[in-house]
Amino acid sequence: MGIGAALGMMSKGLLGPGLLYLSAALCLFILGSYRKKSFINSILIALAVTMLLSFPWILALWHRSPELLHLWFWDNNLGRFLGTNNLGPKKGHLFYLYTLSWYAFPALPMCLLYFLTKNRKVLRDGISVSLIFFMVTFFTLSLSSDARELYALPLLLPLSVIAAAAVPISVIPSFSSFLKGLSFSLILFLIFIGLLVNLPFAFSPLREFVNYFVPGYDSDINPLLVIISLAAPLAVLIVIMKTDSSKTPTVFYFSCLMTIIWSIIMTLGLPLIDYSKRYSDVFSQINMIVPKGECVISQGLGEPQRAMLHYYTGIKTSRVENGSLNESCHYLLRQGKTTTEKKSFHDLIWSGSRPGEEDEFYEVFKTH
């Protein structure tokens, strides 16, 4: 736990260790079986390990630049949580509540099944601990002003532990038989469509359909991906056909179905996804327009996009949102959902987006 909390702190700041140790403290006060000296000692040891691994980095950062330590602590930790800065996307406090309805499927329904069929007054320690960690994480994330789907990943761990306890009681023979038939049908359908999309002599209407959503995509088949796309679903299908749907938990067939879908999507669909989602093409165009070493300010540029821009071009932008209006900067990079016109002191010299992207446009302006 101490190493995990330290890793969480080094990767995401105070949120990770805060959630872990707050959950541990609640377990100590709520669960009678955890009110033991051995548990308290283990928490103290874990806390010491976390401090031993984390504090050298904090001290090194303070020694190098107290301003950067202040920026890390107040802006990137407390500022994001309280919403006192312009970092990160802002969502409503109910964001994670409705996100979990699809994000945690089928773990969330399995958890509900467990609590509806089991005696809620007598919960096993593993279930109780998972429930406490889930509630602490859920309410902490919901209170935060900075929210995105990625931050909900820690919620899946406790939900999966609770859902695993419901696996033996999730036997629905009729639904299992339906999933078995659906798995076979989807294999044929997805492989057929995937091959058509990737073949150089693709079916003309299908090619036009794909290019409507992803302009400029040039189909290219990869033999290795084709082999994997055929072998993985076939192996799963063999396992499915050898099981008895009247005795096997239904969630097993659902997991197999998801394995089939994603194995085909991430093989035959990978070239199309890579072409439509990569930033290398659009940012390389910006790199050809902006002279090397020139100062660039950005407006509305997301944190992931800003990092990718630096990765592909070496350009580090100064953000308008943080009050960075350096008069020596002659280039402005704007990201928005729509294009705009700047007629005052900026001339539009380039605009573009990823192929088929309708909500993320980029424009480069130059001062007069």
For residue range 163-197, what is the model confidence (pLDDT) as tens digits?
988 888 888 888 888 888 888 888 888 888 887 77
Tell me, what's the pLDDT at 359?
Answer: 81
**The last residue of a domain, from among 56, 87, 118:** 87
Number of separate domains in the chain: 4
pLDDT band at residue 88 using 50, 70 and 90 as cut-offs: low
The answer to whether residues 346 and 286 belong to one domain is: yes
Q: Which residues is 366 bridged to in the sheet?
A: 331, 347
Report residue 281's pLDDT band, with 50, 70 and 90 as the boundaries.
Answer: confident
| Residue 298 token pair | 């950005």
Q: What pLDDT shows up at residue 304?
A: 86
Residue 251 and residue 200 in one domain: yes
* 343-362 per-position pLDDT tens digit: 554 788 888 888 878 788 99
pLDDT of 134 over the 90 cut = yes
12/60 same-domain check: yes
**Predicted pLDDT of residue 137:** 94
Say yes or no: 361 and 285 in one domain.
yes
The mean pLDDT of 143-150, rounded to a whole number, is 85
pLDDT, position 368: 66
Last residue of one domain, picked from the residues 253, 277, 301? 277
Strand 361-367's sheet: what is its strand order? 318-319, 296-299, 331-336, 361-367, 346-352
Q: Given a cut of 70, is residue 46 above it in pLDDT?
A: yes
Residue 227 reports pLDDT greater than 80: yes
Q: Within this chain, do residues 292 and 340 fall inside the same structural domain, yes or no? A: yes
Q: Judge if 118 and 66 occupy the same domain.
A: no
Task: Summarize the confidence of residues 117-141 as an average pLDDT.
Answer: 84
Residue 15: domain span = 1-87
pLDDT at 292: 86
The pLDDT, as a whole number, for residue 342 is 53
Q: What is the pLDDT of residue 158?
A: 94
Percent above pLDDT 70 for the chain? 92
* 248 — pLDDT class (breaks 50, 70, 90): confident
Tell me: do 75 and 11 sit in the same domain: yes
Please check whether residues 177 and 232 belong to one and the same domain. Answer: yes
161 and 178 part of one domain: no
Say what the pLDDT of residue 168 is.
Answer: 84
Same domain, 191 and 272: yes
Summarize the confidence of residues 44-56 as an average pLDDT.
93
Task: Please give the average per-residue pLDDT across 296-309, as a whole number.
Answer: 88
135 pLDDT higher than 60: yes
Among 148, 170, 192, residue at a domain's last position = 170
77 and 45 inside one domain: yes
pTM of the model: 0.74
Specify whether 223 is located in the same domain as 165.
no
Mean pLDDT computed over 96-115: 89
Contacts of 163 (CB under 8 A, 6+ apart): 106, 107, 108, 110, 111, 114, 251
Share of the chain above pLDDT 90, in %: 22
Return mean pLDDT, the chain.
85
